[in-house]
Amino acid sequence: MEVQNRELYLQHMNDEYRRKHYPEGSVFMAHKKAQKGVNAGLNLFIIGVFLAGSVAGLVWSINRVLEFIRDEQEDMLGVGIGICVFFLLLILGFGTLIFVMIKGVGKSVDDWIRIVAKTGGLSEQEVRESARALQEELLSRCPGIDTAGGAVLAE
């Protein structure tokens, strides 16, 4: 199945597509560039807004629980605590997502190669060789692509 998907992908690969999506000639470099692009910043901003809204919701729900306690409305106390837990889970989720995104931005191409190698159970050299082989296949399918500006991997 993997080979079929690869063949289908390479079938649609042409000079224009390759120049647009892989200008440096590397999937790893394209991924690194995408993490630092406008969309990455916009995603961080949007998630930050949701995080801020969750914090505001938690503060509001805690104040409501305190009002229930002050007004001796024990029947509403469980609902208020449930809402507090909901907002707390949102804060943990959005906070973790922002942490992971920021941590990913700081990784170099070599770090990503290490991660891919470890996840795939391969050595780093095998991942590098596989990326080089893919670039050679792309070049054979799209002759005339200038690759002098970027190698598959920065060494």
pLDDT digits (tens, 9 = 90+) for 19-67: 666 655 555 665 666 666 667 788 889 999 999 999 999 999 999 999 9
For residue 91, the model assigns a pLDDT of 97
The whole-model pTM stands at 0.56
**pLDDT range class, residue 152, cuts 50, 70, 90:** very low
For residue 19, the model assigns a pLDDT of 61
| CA count, 13 A, side-chain hemisphere, 75 | 0
